Amino acid sequence: MSTETLEFQAEARQLLQLMVHSIYSNKDIFLRELISNASDALDKLRLAALTDDELTAEDLHIEVVADAEARTLTVRDNGIGMARDEVVTLIGTIAKSGTADLLRRMKENKDKDSAELIGQFGVGFYSTFMVADRVTLVTRKAGEQTGTRWESAGEGTYTIEEAADVATGTSVTVHLRPKDEEDALYDYTDEWKIKEIVKRYSDFISFPILLVKAAAEPKAEGDDESPAAPETLNSMKALWARPRSDVKDEEYAEFYRHISHDWTDPLEIIQMRAEGTFEYEALLFIPSRAPHDLFQRDGARGIQLYVKRVFIMDDSRELMPDYLRFVKGVVDAADLSLNISREILQQDRHIQMIRRRLAKKVLSTIKDLMTKDAEKYATFWREFGRAVKEGLLSEQDDQKAILDVSSFASTASADPTTLADYVSRMKDGQDEIYYMTGESRAQVENSPHMEAFQAKGYEVLLLTDPVDEIWVEAVPEYDGKKLQSIARGNVDLSADEDKPSQEKTGEFAPLLTWLGETLDEVKEVRLTSRLTTSPACLVSDANDITPTLEKMYKAMGQDVPPVKRILELNPDHPLVTGLRDAYAGRAEDPALPETAELLYGTALLAEGGDLADPARFAKLLADRLARTV
């Protein structure tokens, strides 16, 4: 058959022009695309041979041939091959409904990495024109006698002709552009560069990728020196595709170090496989220590995404909720398009399904550690508990599972406790899970708010992580028990006979009114039974933000109006009864307002708060002490 010259489809011509004149930095992916196409062809031949006795699928492999002198790079396979009509259909035409969208996005994203777009619509072959002056494809379909030769310079037309003496499979030869052009192409005939690309993108392809030396000059007669044996470039060791029992722990540890750059062994290994309408495999690792950038906004995170063992992206955050950002690993999907963009990842329902299942599996693994390996769990929670609790804010569906694997400091013991264990120890008639937030355990334990709870033996959770201030607002209850701050609202543990009587309340009414008018910092002054040894404490109203949360908002640059709090008094404390009597006898005494200031200041300091005017407080205190000496 004579040579024919045909035109590309209009959209194909536009795409070729973008490829040839693109300014994308990552031109390496053309080799990844060719190898991926070759792997698909080998898979198709292997599958066809199962039902066609005339086809054989032996010694399936991919060869990469670099010829520095000719400046060509050839990728060839002994796979299914293509007939002439298939070549025209698959290469000369882009029969994809999304082509126009691809062209638009490529024009808009010239400053971005081409790896997010090339191949998205099945046009990976065209990426060769980013590096090529000319591309030659020779192919013969398995079971047919003649082959096809296709060639194009990427300028709108291509030639196609029948080819004799062609081996089954496909061979693509890229005639590389000169190295000294403005875009500073790598020399893709250099062995180191070929090895680097294959290692990064195609290391786990299940067929051997062989680096073959280009044919040298004809040897002199009698020179029987054998050509160098081809070098296998890929490991073909996709650990996630192998049964757990077939892989040594050392192999998992080596792979973990490879993908995480962490030279410690992982704390736990998670392997899973999903089959059915959407198939994928995953190999995940829980590290044994937190990375230094765990709480940095631009910290490294995400799971490696592969499609049919071809590497797609390094930090796919869409595959794992942010609160599990420390998890490392690989997801290998069977049915995603190569190189789908991050925008599509965010919207793809299969990706969302994977994300939910991976999170569920990680949480169940943590639960297993909690019940079966206390030492490992303690390490995990120490390193990552603070991050996990962030999920209580962002993942409504995961709240119960996150709470089940969380542990908290408690007054019951020096060791952390789970919420389930707390509930099992609750007193008869106790309907609430008591907690208090603060900057440290010591600060919380020494707070006046704790006095009645300690005296009556009620357990209190001691929440000292910054995120604790926020998640307790988003989680109303656990196992039917409401979470209640002991420093907010009107918490009353006293039996009826221990509560301030109506008569006693009447006795203090003038003092309470006067203090409320004298102290501008408070919204209300009232008696309480929550104190046993301290004269006073400050509490937030049930619907007000806490002082710590107010500080956090201000630290983030948010303008938060000051929130007045409630001053509660211990009616049995000598200072409070003395102040009552003093006000009743000499209400006009100028020293009384100073005493009120000192009372408020000591309550603020007792809970670890900051005085608005420390110098004034110190002077008042010094003057008062001087008068008592």
- Backbone dihedral angles phi then psi of residue 43, each to the nearest 5 degrees: -60, -40
How far apart, in whole angstroms, are the C-alpha atoms of residue 446 and residue 449?
A: 8
Q: Answer yes or no: is 33 a known binding residue.
A: yes
How far apart, in whole angstroms, are the C-alpha atoms of residue 77 and residue 40?
A: 10
DSSP state of 274: E
CA atoms within 13 A on the CB side of 386: 11
Identify the CA nearest to 405 among candidates 427, 429, 387, 432.
387
How far apart, in whole angstroms, are the C-alpha atoms of residue 342 and residue 497?
A: 65
Cβ proximity of 176 and 71 under 8 Å: yes
What's the one-letter identity of residue 254? E
> How distant, in Å, are the alpha carbons of 90, 91, 123, 432 from that of 96?
11, 12, 9, 60
How far apart, in whole angstroms, are the C-alpha atoms of residue 27 and residue 113?
A: 9
Q: Answer yes or no: is 122 a known binding residue.
A: yes
Sign (positive/negative) of CA torsion 35, 166, 141, 177? positive
Q: Answer yes or no: is 120 a known binding residue.
A: yes
Q: Answer yes or no: is 165 a known binding residue.
A: no
Identify the CA nearest to 40 among candidates 90, 88, 1, 4.
90
Written as six digits, the tokens of 600 are 């408020």
How far apart, in whole angstroms, are the C-alpha atoms of residue 114 and residue 384?
A: 35
- Backbone dihedral angles phi then psi of residue 80, each to the nearest 5 degrees: -70, -30
Q: Answer yes or no: is 125 a known binding residue.
A: yes
How far apart, in whole angstroms, are the C-alpha atoms of residue 558 and residue 556?
A: 6
Identify the CA nearest to 132 among candidates 176, 173, 185.
176
Q: Answer yes or no: is 554 a known binding residue.
A: no
Beta strands 408-410 and 268-274, pairing class = unpaired
CA 527 to chain centre: 49
> Which residues, 6+ apart, have CB-to-CB distance to 308 below 8 Å?
36, 39, 40, 332, 333, 334
> Which residues, 6+ apart, have CB-to-CB distance to 446 below 8 Å?
606
Secondary structure E strands in 317-444: 328-333, 408-410, 413-417, 432-437
Beta strands 4-7 and 157-163, pairing class = antiparallel
DSSP state of 488: B
DSSP state of 188: T
Q: Answer yes or no: is 170 a known binding residue.
A: yes
Reduced to 3 states (helix: H, G, I; strand: E, B; else coil), residue 88 is helix
Q: Answer yes or no: is 39 a known binding residue.
A: no
How far apart, in whole angstroms, are the C-alpha atoms of residue 37 and residue 16?
A: 18
How far apart, in whole angstroms, are the C-alpha atoms of residue 220 and residue 581?
A: 120
Q: Answer yes or no: is 342 a known binding residue.
A: yes
The helix/strand count (H/E) of the chain reads as: 20, 23
Q: Answer yes or no: is 123 a known binding residue.
A: yes
Q: Answer yes or no: is 523 a known binding residue.
A: no
Cβ proximity of 103 and 109 under 8 Å: no
> Which residues, 6+ apart, have CB-to-CB distance to 98 below 8 Å?
120, 121
Residue numbering of the annotated binding site for ATP: 33, 37, 77, 82, 96-98, 120-125, 170, 342
Residue numbering of the annotated binding site: 33, 37, 77, 82, 96-98, 120-125, 170, 342
